[in-house]
Structure formats: structure tokens, C-alpha cells
Amino acid sequence: MLIMVLPSLDSRNLTYLANKDKEAGNMLAQQIENELVNVPKDSFRWWMRFIVVMDSYQKPGQSLFIVTPNEQIITAETKNIDLVKNFSEKSHHVDDPAKKIYGSQEIIGPFLVHYASTEYKLYILQQATDIQSQFVNFIFDHPFLLLTLTMLASSPFLLWLSWSIAKPARGLKQAADQVAKGNLQEWPELEKIGSSEYKATGASFNHMLRELKRMQQVQQRLFSDISHELRTPLTRLQLATSLLRRKQGESSEVIRINDEALKLDSMIGNLLSLARMQYDNKEIREFNKINLLFKQVFDNATFEAEQIGKKFIVTNLPTNHFILCYPIALCSALENVIRNAFRYSNNQIVVNFITQQQKVIITIDDDGIGVAESELEQIFRPFYRIGDARDRQSGGTGLGLAIVANAIKRDHGTVKAEKSYLGGLRIVIVLPIHQYK
């Protein structure tokens, strides 16, 4: 629209006169016409008398031109005849006199002058009253430059407009990313920004979060209740097994029942730990110095390694960094990972610390048989059991690493599994470092 409208604002365009200018031109034409009544048409060089009459009425800075019916021009100013010819081709209706600027001059007309029953046209050349700058003229003369300047001028507005339109979408994406990380908190601002469609989407999104959170709480509560209820029959089963052993002595059947009862007890214990951590955890989150927090874990691991004849190494343990965490749950998670490494390693377990960009990266490597690459992302899922010798040998419940992942996630950290440089499995734990004053 700007490109279409701007050229019409060029002051050099042909414009029709206002009533005031039109009346002044007609008055001048009438005065000249009254003087020409005294000039005989057939007199010698009658057109010279035209020039004399025009000179007597033209103002300083003006030049008057009369165009005859056969397109001849009568004037004393011969150097601008071409301008008058050009203008007379564009404006030749005396009922609609016009104006056009040529450089620093303007021509207005035509105005009707009667002489000897013949109609003549009067044009006035004078200094322009509205001269636009050469730069503006240059822009109007080069439409592609005008287009470029228009685009440059409108770009900040368009960028702001696109940013404003996309702002609600960015907020929705940010909220979705947080949900993908397990954060089910509501986002009230999604219902306040953007168009009505975005606000309605934000309201639906928050409703979805409320329902997800409610379902999660119901699931966790059910999880906890079932685990507690299972403990009662399990206790009775273990008691009955003990009585049976007393009456009939040891047998393969009794041993099998006792082993399965112990596995079930371990599984229920893990379920309770996971439910307690997710639903009714009473532990307080607090600042802890890394080396002091994990000292007992590493002392216990060192003692255990000596007893089973394996090498346990801790490298680059930070001594001046703090993390904000649930200390018991985090230490339990790290101890769980180290015990898994003891269980599956052949000879060596290495724990290494790396601090960078306000994060501490803890790696636990073992030289065991490792885990298939296709299962590295799955082993932190509850009840996921690896279908190879590593899992069959352990008889695990598939809940240990799920508890580890949950504990680390609560401290705003991440955990993943990789192939170890020792040949076995590497667990990578990343935790944020905090400034403690």
C-alpha cells in the first residue's frame, strides 16, 4: 500500500489548481483580454502587442505564455518554450487548469483568453512555491530504491510483529519442554497472553497438567498402598516357611519358596522406596559440600572392595563446591549405582568427578560385560530388566536404577548410561553446582 500511495505524493506530478489559484489565473486572463480589445487583429505584428500587454501584467519572477489555436506560442521568454509545450500537452482544458513543477519553476494554466472571436490559452511560468528536495526526487525517480527503503523502514515493525505473534507459541513450547522433563506445574501466564485462540489453548494445556498431576498422585498413592498391603501376606509366607523348615527340615522346595519370598521382599522394599520418594518424602533439601556429602558412601565402597578383592578408585573429588539436594536420597542413589558396578564388574570400578559450567559430572565405570547399546536408554524405566546374562545373573527387580533416576531428577540433575572405556557400563550423573554463602 505504501508503494502504491507514495508516488502520488510526488509534488512534481500534475495537480489541479485550488479555487483560489484558479480565480487568480482567470482574473489575470480577463485583464489581458480587456487590453487586447484595443489591438486590431489585422494590424502589423499584432502578436507584438500581445507581448507588450503580457509584460505589463506579469509580476516579478513570472513569465506569461499565450498559445494560439494552431499551437503557436506567443511570449518574450523563448528559453522556456519547450516546458510550456510539454505542459500544454498534459493540461489543455481551460475548465480544469492544473499545475506542474519543473525543477525550481512551476507552470499553471491554461486560462481562457478571447481575442477577435478566437480562444487563446494563457500559461503562467513562475517560481515554484513547494519545492521538494533532490533526494526525494531521486527516490521517486527510482521505484526499486523506494521499494528497498520501504522494506528497510518496515522491517523493525515486522520483526516486532512476528515476535509478538510468536511469543505465546514460545511460551507454550517452554511449558511443553518442562512437562517433558516431568515438571507438571501449571502456567497461568499461558491464559493471559496472545489471541483468544492462544488463551484457550493455554487454558486447555493447564487443565491437562492438572489432570496429569491428579492421575500421577493417584497412581503414586495406589503404588504405595499396594506395596504396604503386600507386606502382610509376605510376612505370613515367610513365617509359614520358617515353620515348615522346623517341622520337615530343609528341602529343595522349602529353599525355593524362601528364595522367592526374599526376592518378593526386596521388590516390595524397592517399591516402597520409590513410592515414598515420589509421594510422601519428608526429607529436607539442603546445601551440602560434595566431598563431605559422599564421604561415607566412598568409605563403605572402599571397605567392600577390599573384602571382595576388587579395585575401587575415586578421582578428582571436588573439595570446595556445594550442591543443593536431598542428601539421604542422593547418597542412596550413588551407593546403588556403585553397588551395581561392584556386582557386575570383573576387577575394577572407577568414580570420576568433572566440574564445568556450574555443573558437576559424576561418572561410574566398571569393567564388566556391559549393556547392549539398544538398551542404554531403557534401563532407568521401572521394572525394565535386561535380557542378557548381566540381568539373569543378578535376579534384580528392575527398580534400582528407576529409584536412582527419580532421586537425581528431584535434585534437578540428569542421569544416563553409556559404554565405558573399561569395557563395561558407565553411568553419568550431572548435578547443578550452587553458590553457598
Active site residues: 228
Q: Which three cell numbers stand for residue 277?
A: 520418594
Q: Are strands 348-356 and 311-315 parallel, antiparallel or unpaired?
A: parallel
- Angle formed by the axes of helices 143-180 and 134-141, nearest 10°: 80
Cα dihedral 11/14/16/22 (nearest 10): 90
CA atoms in the 13 A half-sphere facing the CB of 356 = 5
In one-letter notation, the amino acid at residue 425 is L
Residue 328 CB neighbour total at 10 angstroms: 12
Residue 265 CB neighbour total at 10 angstroms: 16
Strand partners, 63: 125
Cα–Cα separations (whole angstroms), residue 207 to 203, 210, 212 = 6, 5, 9
The backbone region for 429, taken as left when phi is positive above 0, alpha when psi lies in -120 to 50, beta otherwise, is: beta
- Angle formed by the axes of helices 252-278 and 400-410, nearest 10°: 10
Residue 318 preceded by cis peptide, ω within 30:
no
Element spanning 201, H or E = helix 196-248
Cα dihedral 233/238/240/241 (nearest 10): 140
CA atoms in the 13 A half-sphere facing the CB of 306 = 5
The backbone region for 109, taken as left when phi is positive above 0, alpha when psi lies in -120 to 50, beta otherwise, is: left
Q: What is the DSSP string of 223-242?
A: HHHHHHHHHHHHHHHHHHHH
- 123, burial (CB in 10 Å: exposed 0-12, middle 13-18, buried 19+): buried
- 3, burial (CB in 10 Å: exposed 0-12, middle 13-18, buried 19+): exposed
The residue assigned the cell 512555491 is 129
Helices within 309-415 (DSSP H only): 327-344, 389-394, 400-410
